[in-house]
């Protein structure tokens, strides 16, 4: 995995003000099923938040939100409020004495190496309040792990990504959490023949 390509990709997108590239229908679908995981007064941590389009809409009126994002231009676009905290750093370097009811890692694993993915899950387990949930969402391969690298005509720039197999990612999470539920996204959001959107709802760390 070429980290230089990944860094250049996100740096350019942040400078251009482009966070999510999925459509509003997918965002609405995610907000709908995620709502039950953000109870009143929930403390939410969004790792690799971008501008916080998803997590800021989930934030309850009396809740708190921490956005952790490596690229400062994304945080410049994020909502500002007394209950929203911005932290500019790599998620692998993030440390916090706070604990959270909901931790989100959306669209991030695709740009982590396997070793980095294994490091981030135990960290999030330590940051969860009792009864809280970690939700990891990314595209997975329909078969064996798949990696891509090269020029993307749809994105109009060099792109690099890793798509773990569903079973491999599920097993990594089950080594850290007692309960892992798999959310399969509807076919309308999965037009590709070899990858699909999946979320893992993880509770009760060992």
127-156 residue pLDDT tens: 999 999 999 999 999 999 999 999 888 777
Q: How many CB atoms lie within 10 A of CB 95?
A: 8
Q: What is the per-residue pLDDT for 151? A: 87
Phi then psi for residue 75, to 5 deg, are: -65, -25
Q: What is the per-residue pLDDT for 63? A: 97
β-bridge mates for residue 140, sequence order: 196
Residue 33 has pLDDT above 90, yes or no: yes
Average pLDDT over residues 186-201: 96
Domain positions in the chain:
3-205
* Rounded-to-integer distance, Cα 27 and Cα 105, Å: 15
What dotted CATH number matches 3-205? Answer: 3.40.50.150
Question: CB-based contacts of 178: which residues, under 8 Å, 6+ apart?
Answer: 203, 204, 205, 206
pLDDT bracket for residue 16 (50, 70, 90): confident
39-64 residue pLDDT tens: 999 999 999 999 999 999 999 999 99
Token pair, residue 80, equals 């500002």
């Amino acid at each position: 995995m070429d980290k230089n390509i990944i860094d250049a990709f996100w740096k350019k997108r942040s400078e251009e003000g482009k966070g999510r590239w999925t459509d509003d229908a997918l965002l609405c679908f995610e907000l709908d099923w995620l709502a039950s995981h953000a109870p009143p007064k929930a403390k939410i941590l969004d790792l690799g938040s971008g501008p916080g389009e998803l997590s800021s809409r989930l934030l309850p009126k009396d809740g708190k939100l921490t956005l952790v994002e490596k690229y400062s231009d994304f945080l410049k676009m994020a909502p500002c409020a007394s209950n929203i905290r911005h932290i500019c750093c790599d998620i692998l370097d993030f440390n916090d004495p706070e604990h959270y009811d909901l931790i989100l890692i959306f669209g991030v694993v695709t740009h982590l190496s396997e070793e980095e993915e294994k490091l981030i899950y135990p960290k999030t387990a330590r940051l969860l309040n009792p009864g809280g949930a970690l939700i990891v969402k990314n595209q997975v391969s329909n078969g064996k792990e798949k990696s891509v690298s090269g020029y993307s005509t749809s994105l109009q720039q060099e792109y690099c990504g890793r798509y773990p197999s569903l079973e491999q990612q599920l097993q990594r999470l089950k080594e850290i959490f007692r309960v892992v539920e798999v959310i399969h996204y509807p076919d309308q959001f999965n037009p590709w023949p070899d990858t699909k959107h999946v979320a893992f709802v993880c509770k009760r760390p060992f």
